[in-house]
Amino acid sequence: MTFDETEFAAFLDDISRPFLERDITRWRARMILPFSMVTATGPVLLETEADVERNFNLYLTASDVMHLTNVVRAPLSAELCFDGTVIATYKTELISNSQRVTAPYTASALMHPTSDGWKMSSILNARGHHDWTGQHPQMTGDKT
Asked whether 51 and 36 are in contact (CB, 8 A), the reply is no
| Domain-embedded: residue 142 | no
Question: First CA to last CA across the chain, in angstroms?
Answer: 32
| Domain-embedded: residue 137 | no
User: How would you class 40 by CB atoms within 10 Å of its CB: exposed for 0-12, middle for 13-18, buried for 19 or more?
Assistant: exposed
Q: What is the pTM of this model?
A: 0.85
What's the CATH code of the domain at 52?
A: 3.10.450.50
pLDDT at 44: 87
Tally of CB atoms within 10 A around 2: 10
Q: How many domains does the chain have?
A: 1
Which residues span the domain enclosing 107? 5-127
What does each of the 144 residues of the chain score in pLDDT, given as a tens digit?
Answer: 889 999 999 999 999 999 999 999 999 999 999 999 988 777 889 999 999 999 899 889 989 988 999 999 999 999 999 999 999 999 999 999 999 998 899 999 999 999 999 999 999 986 543 444 444 444 444 554
Q: List phi, psi (to 5°) of 107.
A: -140, 160
